[in-house]
Amino acid sequence: MPVIVRIARWRVPLGFLFGVAAVMLSRPSPRSLALGALVGVCGEAVRIWAAGHLEKGREVTRSGPYRWTRHPLYAGSSIMGVGLAIASRSLIVALLVIAYLAVTTAAAIRTEEAHLIEKFGSEYGAYREGTAAPVVRHFSLARAIRNREYRAALGFALVFTILALRSRGVL
């Protein structure tokens, strides 16, 4: 199995590992937490918006944020990562976040796009090239839940709760 596929498959467990390291190396303050949470909530909002349009494995989704970017879930995750880096108030954490996102997101995008080309062929090719017509579909919270976006939201809330406790000297 190619390394890139392994990295893509291991991105979530690696995220937990990097998350633990980020929390342990963080030095959050009330101000860094507030600013980081604001940025992170924006990233999670992008993810929820995307998940509320995504029909994973059934089609090439072209509505909502997919009209402007092929990978809005990864864009949202990257924004959340910036929020974590800000909240942590640590250069080392910021570098870890950048390294983690650069390596795992690139691997995930490459493997995902290869799969989409294999599954949807010229339809995905037209989407990639920007020649496919957008699809009108309304956001659906039920769809976002079906896509299990609540897991990212809960993880975000958990990490920021832990950082808040660290900022108060509890952890």
Question: Residue 64: which H helix or E strand, with range?
Answer: none
Q: Is the pLDDT score of 56 beyond 80?
A: yes
**What is the DSSP secondary structure assignment for residue 39, as one 8-state letter?**
H
Angstrom distance (rounded) from CA 93 to CA 36: 13
Q: Which of these, 47, 84, 46, 76, lies nearest to 161 by C-alpha position?
A: 84
Instruction: Note the pLDDT tens digit of each residue in 136-159.
Output: 999 999 999 999 999 999 999 999
Instruction: Note the pLDDT tens digit of each residue in 87-108.
Output: 999 999 999 999 999 999 999 9
Task: Estimate the crossing angle of helix 72-88 against helix 30-51, to 10 degrees.
Answer: 170
Instruction: Note the pLDDT tens digit of each residue in 7-50.
Output: 999 998 999 899 999 999 999 999 999 999 999 999 999 999 99
Burial 27-53 (b: 16+ CB within 10 A, else e): ebeeebbeebbebbbebbebbbbbbbb
Q: What is the pTM of this model?
A: 0.93
Angstrom distance (rounded) from CA 98 to CA 92: 10
HSE of 79, CA atoms in CB hemisphere, 13 A: 20
Tell me, what's the pLDDT at 171? 78
Round the average pLDDT of the chain to a whole number and report it.
95
Q: Is the pLDDT score of 82 beyond 80?
A: yes
